[in-house]
Amino acid sequence: MTVDQAPTPPTERRSTRRSMDRALRDGRHPLNRFADSLSGLLIKLALLGAVNGLGIAMVLRLVALDGPWWAIASTVATTLLLDWIYLGKTKLPLKYLIPGTLFLVVFQLFPFVYTFFIAFTNYGLGQILDQDQAIERIERGSIQALPDAPRFDAVPFADGDDLALKLTDPDGEVFLGTPDGITPVEDLDTVTDDDRLVEIDGYERLSLGAAQDRIDAFTELRIPVDEGEIELTSLSVATERAQTRFYDPDTGTLTDETTGTTYVPSERGRFVSEDGTETLSPGWRVVVGGENFVRAFTNEAIRGPFLRVLVWTYVFAAASTFGTFALGILLALTMNDARIKGRKLYRLAMIIPYALPTFMTALIWRGMMNRRFGVINDVLGVQIPWLNDPTWAQISVVLVNLWFGFPYMFLICTAALQSIPEDLYEAASVDGASGPSRFRRITLPLLLVATAPVLVATFAFNFNNFNVVYLLTGGNPPIAGAATPAGHTDLLITYTYRIAFESGGGQDFGLGATIAILTFVLVAVMSAISFRFIRPLEEINE
């Protein structure tokens, strides 16, 4: 507002606001008029149709999986609420708030809440299922061929993609075995050729070569019988297998009928024998409270590597942030000198690392830093273990990240330098200030005003800089004696990933979620403190 413009009287502002409210209620708002047009109506109906179709599909899927009632009810309620809002004419604010709120819940709140929940469970390798699924797996896994189990002479048959076996038991009786069970051949329609059955109830006999081409499918074929199932052990022999472990829902125990051992459920989500000497797999998810947090701080094999990774994360983030800032200032000051010819070309060259995809250039750097075949060692004529020695690997990660990060700081500092009035430098020169003094008293304070929030954000980004570390070193070299996958160049984010998803001591989602929550808390506290400290810089502009 300029000096000549008079402020709008409060009564006029209230009148304008009431007019807009009436327009919204009466449906006379331009957006409502577009929604009432034919094209707007068609677009709205198409989008609502897609939403309702997705809702119906989700409900049917949940019903088929015997999903929880609250999930089914919330899906139906959400779909009906969206229909009520978007088919109405007087709910314009909700029409814009609802999509943003849904995206916030789905992509922000739900992942955080779910991660928080997982941190208090034993969710991990061998304990991914719920108890009912674990019981089913254990029972299915106990199906085996018993010493006195009958063996059958088998001949493969097929009807298109449907497979079957002609089975001859030790007594000479012949059956047709299909995924639905066994049926005596004498009760079925058959076709013979030279006293050899070539077709049974629509199934045609396969040659040995044709059966061999489908050996994987025949190996997976299971023929149910009263006491178990029949499966092939070769293309000409099948064996009856029986289930040996059974769950008793009344007592909540599992019994192995071949050994007589009884297994009881434990608080850790496993079936354990009564004498505690044997544990069955898989287990199931259970809530273990703060056990994962206790493990992270009390188990020396976890605490030691975790603390080393934590310290290195701070060192890496600080070195990367202030290194890129210093390099960005230096290059920005150099390129800001009017005496340099071709500054535009130089500036363009400076931002090339920022424009290239990290996943590609990080792998190129990895090849260049190879100890035996890398171009860096070849040019320098040395054998530096850039990626194999703990100290050199950490130096390598910082150097490569400086290469990735300095163009961004260069752009920010260049823009900030060009916004500083030349009058300040002229006045300082008149007062006899030297170049370093002008930088310390004018350039740096004003640069910090513009870049301090960027520095905080950059520190938080480098604190969770997954790509550079994982693609360049994979977190290696490993830390000796660690009970979890941990390396000398691991950041908390890569450490969390390796705990949760890598095999060999990893795939512990509960502990991984715990480290993720601790990382979130550290970044949040660090950012809050940083913004509190940089607040006085705002007074420089006032």
Examine the fold and report which residue of 200, 222, 242 is the final residue of a domain before the chain moves on.
242
370 within some domain: yes
> Taking the chain (542 residues) in consecutive chunks of 10 residues, what is each chunk's mean pLDDT?
47 55 52 61 85 90 83 88 81 79 86 94 91 92 84 94 94 93 93 90 93 92 88 91 92 92 94 92 93 91 92 96 95 87 88 89 95 93 94 97 94 90 86 86 88 90 94 93 90 93 77 93 87 68 54
The burial of 516, by beta-carbon neighbours within 10 Å (0-12 exposed, 13-18 middle, 19 or more buried), is given as: buried
pLDDT, position 514: 94
pLDDT of residue 103: 85
Contacts 24+ apart (CB under 8 A), 440-448: 443/333, 443/417, 445/537, 445/540, 446/416, 446/420, 446/540, 447/329, 447/413, 447/416, 447/417, 448/534, 448/537
Q: How many domains, in total, are found in the chain?
A: 3
User: Do 18 and 52 belong together in one domain?
Assistant: yes
Task: Compute the distance between CA of residue 230 and CA of residue 226 in angstroms, rounded to an integer.
Answer: 10
Domain boundary among 83, 118, 153: 118
What was the pLDDT predicted at 5?
A: 47
Q: 300 lies in a domain?
A: yes
In this structure, are 171 and 86 located in the same domain?
A: no
- Does residue 105 sit within a domain? yes
Q: Please give the pLDDT value at position 167.
A: 95
CA distance 400 to 394: 10
pLDDT value, residue 354: 87
352 shares a domain with 234:
no
Asked if 109 and 149 sit in the same domain, the reply is no
CATH of the domain at 496: 1.10.3720.10
pLDDT at position 17, please? 55
Residue 277 lies in a domain: no
DSSP codes of every residue in 295-312? HHHH-HHHHHHHHHHHHH
Instruction: Examine residue 250 and state whether it is found in any structural domain, yes or no.
Output: no
Same domain, 357 and 396: yes
Q: How many helices (H) and strands (E) does the chain have?
A: 22, 15
401 within 8 A of 320, measured Cβ to Cβ: yes
- Residue corresponding to tokens 């095999």: 503
* Same-domain status, 380 and 527: yes
Statement to judge: residues 514 and 405 lie in one domain: yes
Q: Clarify whether residues 334 and 429 are in a common domain.
A: yes
d(CA 509, CA 121): 9
What CATH number did the domain enclosing 227 receive? 2.40.430.10
Cα separation, 277 vs 259, in Å, equals 14
Sign of the C-alpha dihedral computed for residues 317, 116, 109 and 53 taken in this order: positive
Clarify whether residues 34 and 158 are in a common domain.
no
Q: Phi and psi dihedrals of 135, rounded to 5?
A: -60, -45
Residues 305 and 157 in one domain: no
Q: 112 with 148, same domain?
A: no
Angle subtended at Cα 104 by Cα 469 and Cα 525, rounded to the nearest 5 degrees: 50
311 belongs to a structural domain? yes
Give the HSE-up count for residue 510: Cα atoms under 13 Å, Cβ half-sphere: 23
> Which domain does 23 fall in, by range?
12-118
Instruction: Please count the CA atoms within 13 angstroms of the CA of 516 that sit on its side-chain side.
Output: 22
Place of tokens 């994979």: 474
Q: What is the pTM of this model?
A: 0.77
DSSP code at position 432: T
Strand partners, 287: 121
Q: Is residue 487 part of a domain?
A: yes
Q: Contact, 63 vs 55, CB < 8 A?
A: no
| Residue 383 within any structural domain of the chain | yes
Q: What pLDDT does residue 394 have? A: 97
CB 203 within 8 A of CB 164: yes
302 and 390 in a single domain? The answer is: yes
